[in-house]
Structure 1
Amino acid sequence: MMNLSESMSLLAALQLAAVKASKRLDRCLSLHGISFNEFLALHFLSEAHLNTLNRTEIAEYLGITASGATRLLNPMDKNRLVEKQSNPRDARVSLVKLTETGKQVYKDAFTSFQHSAESMLPEARQYQIETVLSFLNKL
């Protein structure tokens, strides 16, 4: 049997922690009818100019494929959290816009996410969070 190096162990631990955190956040956000990935899509749209992005940009933000983004966004469109729009510059590229309903769901879910994040990391100090974020941003 081969032993994992420290770097390999760290990456494996990061992946397992991300899966656990995602599951907890999915449960928390299900009260608002959305998953953690859907929350992140709403977040990116809320930060975007005119609350609008194309499907590929959302896929890149979430680290998923363009078809994965389509599978994520279709139910959100049906639930009127987002709306698809045509791109006046390129008919091949559809745009996704955050709706008023989506803004309200995002606002409500944001509060739940904030409470969950704080309860998941109750003993984390600001400097520790900053150190981990700095490290992760370099990956």
Structure 2
Amino acid sequence: MTAINTILNIIKVQSFITKKFDGLSLHGLSLTDFMILHILSQASGNRLRRIDLAESTGLTASGITRIISPMEKMGLVVKEHNDRDARVSYVKLTAAGDRIFKEATVTAEHIANKLLDGMAVTDLLVFAAQLKSLGGDL
């Protein structure tokens, strides 16, 4: 298989996975929302600079801003400003966001297990390592 076919298949699988997750209820979260909450839940103090969050998700800083605005209105995250540098802003997971994330994680794990059912654990470990080498290092 050529390199371009591999890349195109990765994109196709990503689209399929996104549709599967977004088609089922993740407590009102999209897969991208869930990923943002997951990343914030792992961060020190449950907060990250907006630019670091963008880098962690593979999105742009403006894309993160667009996505977190509705999440902020839902009370899942809050924006915090840096007192020392007005250009720097943080995104912080709220207690409500953490609760919703934990509830949605149960559903997400069920969906993920169904999608990967039939794959041997050793194959999953190799696949995870290959994804990490491509930048998939959540």
Is 1:119 aligned with 2:114?
Answer: yes
CA RMSD of aligned residues (A): 1.1
Figure out how many residues of one structure are paired with residues of the other and give that number: 134
Give the SS at the match of 1:21. helix
Equivalent residue for 1:17, pick from 13, 38, 49 = 13
Tell me the amino acid that sits aligned with residue 19 of structure 2. Answer: K
Residue equivalent to 1:70: 65
CA distance in 2, matches of 1:7, 1:89: 46
CA distance in 2, matches of 1:55, 1:89: 16
Deviations 1:50-100 (A, max 9, x none): 101111111111111110000010000000000111112311111111001
Residue equivalent to 2:44: 49
Shift of 1:128: 0.5
Tell me the amino acid that sits aligned with residue 99 of structure 2. Answer: Q
Give the SS at the match of 2:117. coil
Unaligned 5+ residue runs, structure 2?
none
CA distance in 2, matches of 1:138, 1:49: 24
Tell me the amino acid that sits aligned with residue 70 of structure 1. Answer: T
Identity of aligned residues (%): 37
Is 1:60 aligned with 2:47?
Answer: no
TM-score by length of 1: 0.92
Question: Which runs of 4 or more aligned residues in structure 1 lie more than 6 Å from their structure 2 counterparts after TM superposition?
Answer: none
Deviations 1:87-131 (A, max 9, x none): 123111111110011001100110000000011111011100111
Larger-Rg structure: 1
Deviates more, 1:84-93 or 1:120-129: 84-93
Equivalent residue for 2:101, pick from 92, 101, 106 = 106
Shift of 1:9: 1.1
Deviates more, 1:64-73 or 1:19-28: 19-28
Deviates more, 1:85-94 or 1:68-77: 85-94
CA distance in 1, matches of 2:97, 2:71: 9
TM-score by length of 2: 0.92
CA distance in 2, matches of 1:15, 1:27: 18
